Chain A
Amino acid sequence: MKRPGKLITRSSLNVTFNRRTALIGGAQGLVGAILATRMAYISVVENERYKMLSESNRVNLTLIPPRRGWIIDRHGKPLANNKADFRVDLIPQRVKDVDATIEQLRDILQMPPDKVEDLRTAMKDARGLQPVPVASGLTYEDFATLSVRLPDLPGVAPQRGFSRQYPTGAAVGHLLGYVGIVNAEEYEKNRNPLLITPGFKIGKDGLEQYFEPQLQGKPGARKVEVTARGKIVRELGVQEDIPGKPLKLTIDGGLQEFVARRMGRESGAAVVIDCQTGGILAFSSMPCFDPNSFSDGIGRLEYAMMSQDERVPLLNKATRGLYPPGSTLKPMAAIAALQNGVDPDETVNCPGGYRLGNRFYQCLGRHGPVNMTRAIEKSCNTYFYAQAHRLGYDKIAMVARELGLGEEFDLAGANQRYGTIPDSEWKLRKYKQAWTASDSLNAVIGQGYVIVNPLQLAVMTARIASGRKLYPHFIPNGKLAPTLPYSPEHLAIAQLGMAQVVSQGTAARSKLPLEGITMAGKTGTAQVRGFGSGSRGGAGVPWKYRDHGLFIGFAPVEQPLYATAVVIEHGLGGSRAAAPVAKDFMTYMFDPQKAMDSLLALEAGWGGNISERMASEFAAFRARSEGRAPQTPPDEPTG
């Protein structure tokens, strides 16, 4: 064993070995101590922080979008409410394979090709956590199928919630607007996580947008325990949402719907105002989009159909449509004449027109000698040419403005174009030209530079009928409007002229079919483009060149309750197109059953009610766009 000479070396190696083993052992002990200290540090000193992180891992807080406040009419009937709904959204950031996911959704939900295409496009532009709506109104079976397959479909968010519903659909589109998911710009402005919660929508137009703060409500929250893969293990607690406050309008829901339906296949607008308060009872622009489908995120195809329609369903014609008012301004002109000392009994002879210099201004007939009321009744241009020539239009324009024409009203949600009531100063400013007598003659019959919107016409009518300076509004305010600075006798003459229009004048065919209740009104027919003096855009020209038909009116004559203005675009004439519509919805206010019966008869001839017609139009449009049917021109909208 022990060899001489080697002994020392061997034992010195052993000493080295022992020393170095001790060194290593010490180093290992040190590492052990470091580990123990480190662990103690993490789990004791930093415990609170990591506990919090662990909780935020485990607990998933999802916001519950608040139910929007209802919008109700003056009787408390809902114009917009919420329905329980199963819906599904995609969260772009969490989707792994967009194409595969969309394909699976298509198979599960049986989505039509254009919807799939819309979804693809939407996903292309989508970023981050902003949900892209896939479908709403799912059946429970579809919802359940999706929920079960959720682990394989990251980014798909089925949800049970509430969605906005407009029970009367297109009838309230331009009045209420619609709701929609928040777009990127809106989220940039206000980075509230609620805004990108699936199922949350904000008002995008009309009253829905204007009263957003009131309607929105406060979100609830659902705490759930989730796995790392997003599977919900159990619910930890729910805080219910606080629904938005209801919004009560001056609108009469029944009338609103009736008016919209009665407009039929025409393009136009109608406004009905409460003569006692100025509250708007009906506010209609037709045709109109269906806010229900807009709120679900309208399809590309449906939108294409809307924007190609020459009847411009996307335009709110009640406040943004501008029309030459034609003869509907004659009662207003009569008041202006009375204010300026014209004797109402004084007659003007109508030989079928009025000569100004070497030009002859046509009247619609040869009315012979007419006084003021008869001039209104017969819509005699000659009489008003003479008055305008005598007074100058500046004096008439003052009364026009006092009655609300050319005015932009302080009206919630309605984006207005307020048109023009011209006078000499205006013309000088705008065209650097002096006002001429010819301008006065054109203006007094509501042509030339005069251009107004239907709401203004309705306000004018309400003011003439009530003698008060009523302001149109949607939200009941209880304010009493001041009286107009015109004597009641003067207003009574204009009212009498309007009563005669319906009782024996140009709108005699539109008497209310009611016992003891009569309507007063004034028809108007406005040229769309100049065919030369006296020529009219009649039935023989293409629809878009035909004359507009207008009607203003109020009822009952003795104690006016309701004032209205109706514009039927390219309706050929006020007595022919507009007055019958007003007659029917005025009838509705006094005898709904009777009015409804006649409406149903009309609708039978038009091919169904609004939603039925819209559905069949869309089906035809889809068929055309998919090339399944031969290209056919759209139905003549005047019908």
Chain B
Amino acid sequence: MFGFVPRPIAEMPWQIICITLGIAGFGVVVLYSAAGGSLSPWAGTHAIRFSVFLIMALVIRLFNEDFIKLWTYPGYIVVAVLLLLVELVGAVKGGSQRWIDLGFIRLQPSEVMKPLVVLALARFYELLPIGQARNWRAVWPPLVIMGIPFALVMTQPDLGTSIAIVTGGVTVMFLAGVPLRLFIGAGLAGAAFVPVAYFFLLKEYQQNRVLTFLDPESDPLGTGYHISQSKIAIGSGGISGKGYLQGSQNQLEYLPEGHTDFVFATMAEEWGLIGGLVVIGLFALLLRWATFVSLNAPGRFGKLAGGGLTMVIFFYIAINLLMVTGLAPVVGIPLPFLSYGGSSMMTIMICIGLLMGIAHNTRQSSGSGGRVID
């Protein structure tokens, strides 16, 4: 590349750093406005958090793949136990609890579980004899690996996260070559299961959210309020937006959760369609990079883990954006790099760090040849 740049610096994954920096930087700008033109309480913390987690990701990048493989199962087990603990603490305290207070950080085991399930399944398929890839034995253990955290998170209850866990896991299964008919069959069974789940598994507030999604105007001041106000914010922004710090929906607090789940609406009101397309474009670049990391990975673990992690990131982005534009029900899923919040950012940055690690590994194993993407 550029001969005059020192090698360690030249070898840094600049492309992905720039993309994440771009989105997160824009996030700081938007959060500054969400606070009515102030660094506190969100924008400043957001910037610091991103810096910390970016460094964390760059550290994860340097982990040897064997080291990661070694710690995948133990890590999975530890976090699953933590999930159970959280559940027990919640039961003792009476009420739902999702985090463990470690003093300096409130750790949400369910967040860490998302990449861990992906890694665990990737590891499983790597170890699975190739001949059994289309075998029944390629199906049931992954279902158990996913099923345990899914059940635990579901009872918290955290519908969004549990679906995210399953989505990551199913993606790995799909990429690992599990026969297509199983997915089609499961899809059909799932469709049949939806009414059952709706009536027996979902809590009343979750049911309301679904109902409201189907007909937001039915309850404009209750659960439909979020979606209505979000659409008003995006729609009133027009092509070029109302101008920075000029979004009335956000500034006058009509938009609820304008700094967390609905941060995209906050942004779109002030930056308009142009801002929205830029954000979507940046996410597309991010996912394109992640997809190529997985495609270019030499080993099965890297490929499968890369694909699953890509899906986890995509899941966040897609569900959040579908939600704020009124195409999906309100589920508490934040928008990566833009929404204020430490847990989700940590999860995303772990995924990014792991992906960077896979790319790093690819580069090292292929030498200078092949497509350099990191």
Contacts and interface: CB of A to CB of B under 8 A. Distances in A.
Contacts of B107: none
A553 B239 CA distance: 84
Contact of B325 (A24, A25, A39, A228): A39
B268 interface: yes
B130, B174, B233, B314 — most chain A CB neighbours (10 Å): B130
B253 A51 contact: no
Contacts of B287: 25, 28
B29 interface: no
Contacts of B6: none
A57 B235 contact: no
B175 A17 contact: yes
Contact of B249 (A16, A43, A57): A57
B275 to A, nearest CB: 10
A51 B325 contact: no
B207 interface: no
Nearest to B294: A21
Nearest to B253: A228
B248 to A, nearest CB: 4
B321 A57 contact: no
B307 interface: yes
Interface in B122-143: 130-131, 133
A58 B288 CA distance: 40
A236 to B, nearest CB: 12
B331 interface: no
Given A9-B131, A20-B174, A226-B252, A32 B325 contact: no
A333 to B, nearest CB: 75
B245 to A, nearest CB: 14
A43 B318 contact: no
A39 B276 contact: yes
A35 B133 contact: no
Nearest to B233: A54
Contacts of B277: 36, 39
Interface in B176-200: 176-177
A51 B133 contact: no
Interface in A47-68: 47, 49-51, 53-55, 57-58
Nearest to A12: B177
Contacts of A18: 295
Interface string B284-327: 10011001001100001001100100110010001001100111
A184 interface: no
Contacts of A31: 314, 318, 322
A229 interface: yes
Given A21-B291, A47-B236, A225-B252, A38 B325 contact: yes
Interface string B220-236: 00000000010111111
A425 B58 CA distance: 115
A486 B218 CA distance: 78
A601 interface: no
B252 A9 contact: no
B65 to A, nearest CB: 16
A36 B280 contact: yes
A47 B252 contact: no
Contacts of B303: 14, 17
Interface in B94-145: 130-131, 133
B272 interface: yes
Contacts of A629: none
A364 interface: no
A44 B273 contact: yes
B237 interface: yes
A16 B284 CA distance: 23
A44 to B, nearest CB: 6
Interface in A33-92: 34-36, 38-40, 42-44, 46-47, 49-51, 53-55, 57-58
| CB-CB nearest 10 A-B residue pairs | A50-B235, A54-B236, A58-B248, A228-B253, A227-B252, A42-B235, A50-B236, A16-B177, A228-B254, A51-B236
15 contacts: A13-B300, A17-B303, A31-B322, A32-B284, A35-B318, A35-B327, A39-B273, A39-B280, A40-B273, A42-B234, A43-B235, A50-B232, A57-B254, A227-B252, A228-B254
Given A39-B280, A43-B237, 5 more contacts: A21-B291, A28-B291, A31-B322, A47-B236, A229-B253
Interface of A: 6, 9-10, 13-14, 16-18, 20-21, 24-25, 28-29, 31-32, 34-36, 38-40, 42-44, 46-47, 49-51, 53-55, 57-58, 225-229, 233
